[in-house]
A and B are shown apart, each in its own frame.
Chain A
Amino acid sequence: MAKFLNNRRNLVPFIFLLPAVFILVVGLVVPLVNAFRLSFYEWSMGTPLASARYIGLASYERLLGDAGVGESLGVTLRFGFWVILIEMALGITLALLLERQIRGAALFRTIFVLPLMVSPVVVGLIWRYLFDARSGLVNFYLEEIGEAIPFLQQFGFTTQLWLADRNLAFTSIIVTDIWQWTPFVFIIILAGLQAVPREVLESAYIDGANWLQMTWFVKLPMIRSVILITLLLRLVDVFRALEVIYILTFGGPGRSTELLSLHIYKTAFTSQQLGYASAISTLLIGIIFVLSLGILVFNNPLKERADF
């Protein structure tokens, strides 16, 4: 060990890592530990922290029996399942289609990435107006189509209460999220696809692989780690999504669109129960940790050398 430390060369990487570690500790570990500590206290904003009442595990006990937390966790998981599934499928498909040298690909790529550049609050507002039951464009076209082809009216081509009906509101937030985040998947997968070495594709082509085989057996396996990283990032993001839902439905009707992050926000700032909100946050971190770990154990892109 001493020998290792005496060799100055061995220390260099650690010295270079130091600033990053410092920032991580100040910006991430300290707040995290503080939040964790707060979850054992009952503290009201504006009173000195020293006057917070220690309540031990009471918040966690309450957490287990809290129907509100359970319900919003369920909403979050269902929401996450659908948006990630659809966004990954759509994003990968689009990337595969636009990866080829076709005319206007650059234009399409730009257009597809646009939603990513819109601020979440604006996304929320845009869709809230689109989904408006009385004056929204979505209903306008539904009605127009329904009137043009009356047959379709029985399949829902009439006025729909997008944000006022439990199931439709849930569909609405999924549609919005897909609109907002598919470009993210698309752009990363596209970058991955473009980094696939030409030689491999050429040799596959010479071996007589058709487009489908090439995609399925060559391209996708080669960007497996990129796909996994994208999946991971989306997973974490889904649990943090807040702004759009805040504007779009604020969790309603009932609790049908109340994601866990919004539930935490409401507990902290509407109910003013910061200790309990910290306890739910701890649960959230735990869930994300377990899910991420699951994906990494299943297939760790960092462990193996890069796929290509």
Chain B
Amino acid sequence: MLKKTFLLAIAVLLSLGVVSAQDAPNPWRQFEGTTIVVSWPSLYHFQVAQTLIPEFEELTGITVEVDSVQYESMHDKQVLEMSKPGGGDYDVVSWVIFWKTEYVNKGFLKPMAEFFTNPDLVMPDYDAADLIPAYLESGSVVGGRRAYLPGVTAALYGVPFSGETSVLVYRKDIFDEYDLKVPETYDEMLETAEWITANVPNMYGITSRGAAGHQIVHAWLLHLSPYGGSVLDDNWNPVVNSEAGVAAAEALKRILDASPPGVTSYGIGEASNSFLQGEVAMFLDNDRIINQTRDPNQSRIDGKIGVALHPTAVTCGAETGGFAIGIPTNARNPEAAFMFIQWMTSKETDRKLAKLGGQPGRMSTLLDPEMQAMYPEYPVIAKQLECANVDWRPLIAEWGALNAPILGVQLSEFVTGQKTAQEALDEAARLIREELTRAGYYNWMNLPGMSQ
């Protein structure tokens, strides 16, 4: 009886808020007063994320300083900071996913297990399995098969933040007006693009990146996956000059020929712009374009677009790119940094970010009916992600040396008519082999008894 009264009294007191949870520590506030420094790019998704930082600061009492740089120049700055012995300036870094293998190889990043093994740090409903798997694997899993893919030896070094995939975005109004079928295969897409360029006044069928270097390689890789090709095989042999590689290059050439004049100097900015300005009917590149069409400051085609799956050739395959976010080994406040990452990529924040125009990072966001009502492309993207190729380009540390300097020059020489596709890609394969030989990739293969 006495016990019952006592319990009742406590219940009453609790409900009145007299005895609050004050004595139990609030895990969010365990790093109150700490300042963390975040290095991330000055891209739209991150600008949106920045507007949410005050909420995080209020919740945790952690002060966040953001060092926002153009993403091309972020690498050297991050490398410099992360290689400082005894603590660098950054507590959180966001990397373009093709830097991940280099960063991990050089010992720059803390394995996430260090934090996920600490129940004091991890929010119970974080649900890491809900993070979009394709982005997780391409952006933050390192050390498995072929060094950059998942596998038994792999570990997690960050979480995806601002990932992207590719879909076909088309002008619904033009397709309706001319009664065109939305292409599902490459052949259909190429024919439709050529038809529109030839027959629709003041309209080009498609647009693309085409500038020498990284840009044209990106365009070619977008088509390489669906044609069933890859850059390297499992033994690191370059296979860019395979039948699939040549087919992808020839598809790229047809796309460029149906694009606005001058496309061979286009980067992603010019390519996006030609679509946003209403000059072209199809855009096949990353899905960030969809949000851009909704921005009246840069788009004349708001509400006129439809979104379809990346067309297939011999197989389906979309890109997986963008950024991931993690914690440097020499961070001064790694736990507070983890709090920040966890909060930024939590289910709730992810939905908030997406509502403000950021990139969705979780399946729950893509499948949320409320979100789907707001963004009708979400079901398409969710479906596309089932067939997004994590291995659409080799994310090895040497990728920088293969990408723009070798493939970027050879492909450019092909599309400007200096070489045939086969010649250009043969030469690229030769140069890639040279480069990887220098880097020691074939040393094991050359031992007696090992076969290539």
Contacts and interface: CB of A to CB of B under 8 A. Distances in A.
Interface stretch (B61-69, B77-85, B242-250): B77-85
Contacts of A132: 262
A164 B263 contact: yes
B416 interface: yes
A272 B400 contact: yes
A161 B106 contact: no
A110 interface: no
Contacts of A252: 211-213, 264-265, 412
Interface stretch (B184-192, B366-374, B401-409): B401-409
A115 to B, nearest CB: 23
A133 B265 contact: yes
Contacts of A249: 212, 265
Contacts of B214: 270
A45 interface: yes
Contact of A270 (B108, B397, B404): B404
A254 B403 CA distance: 13
Contacts of B211: 250, 252-253
Contacts of B412: 252-254
B413 to A, nearest CB: 4
A249, A253, A267, most chain B CB atoms within 10 A: A253
Interface string B189-215: 000000000000000000000111110
B336 to A, nearest CB: 24
A52 to B, nearest CB: 13
Nearest to B411: A254
| Range of interface residues on A (Cβ < 8 Å) | 20 to 34
A254 B79 contact: no
Interface in B18-55: none
A163 interface: yes
A89 B106 CA distance: 53
B261 interface: yes
User: Range of interface residues on chain B?
Assistant: 20 to 34
A169 to B, nearest CB: 8
Nearest to A45: B79
B80 A272 contact: no
B82 A46 contact: yes
Contacts, number: 98
Majority secondary structure, A binding face? loop
A176 interface: no
B260 interface: yes
B375 to A, nearest CB: 31
A99 B76 CA distance: 49
A225 B85 CA distance: 53
A44 interface: yes
A165 B263 CA distance: 10
Nearest to A248: B265
A68 B82 contact: no
Interface string A124-168: 000000001110000000000000000000000001011111100
Contacts of A250: 211-213
B79 A46 contact: yes
A289 interface: no
Interface in B253-286: 260-265, 274, 279
A39 interface: no
Interface string A260-301: 000000110111110000000000000000000000000000
A45 B404 contact: no
Contacts of A165: 264, 416
B265 A266 contact: no
A47 interface: yes
B315 interface: no
Contact of A45 (B76, B212, B263): B76
A254 B261 contact: no
Which of the listed residues A45, A161, A164, A255 has the most CB atoms from chain B within 10 Å of its own CB?
A: A164
A280 B390 CA distance: 36
Counting chain B CB atoms within 10 Å of each CB, the highest count among A164, A166, A254, A273 belongs to A254
A251 interface: yes
Given A45-B79, A46-B106, A254-B409, A133 B212 contact: no
Nearest to B408: A252
Contacts of A253: 211-212, 264-265, 412-413, 415-416
Nearest to A267: B405
A266 B210 contact: no
Nearest to B438: A62
A163 B262 contact: yes
Contacts of B404: 266, 270-271
A269 B76 contact: yes
A46 B260 contact: no
Nearest to B80: A46
A271 B404 CA distance: 8
Given A45-B76, A253-B212, A164 B264 contact: yes
B340 to A, nearest CB: 23
A244 to B, nearest CB: 15
A47 B405 CA distance: 23
B418 interface: yes
Interface string A162-183: 1111100100000000000000
Interface in A194-237: none
A124 to B, nearest CB: 13
Interface string B411-451: 01101101000000000000000000010000000000000
Contacts of B416: 164-166, 253-254
Lowest 7 A-B CB distances belong to which pairs? A252-B212, A133-B262, A271-B401, A46-B79, A164-B264, A46-B83, A163-B265
Given A133-B262, A134-B279, A249-B265, 9 more contacts: A47-B83, A62-B438, A133-B265, A134-B274, A165-B416, A252-B265, A253-B265, A254-B416, A270-B400
20 contacts: A45-B83, A46-B79, A46-B83, A62-B438, A68-B405, A133-B262, A134-B260, A164-B210, A164-B262, A164-B263, A164-B416, A165-B416, A166-B416, A252-B412, A253-B264, A270-B401, A270-B403, A270-B405, A271-B404, A272-B400
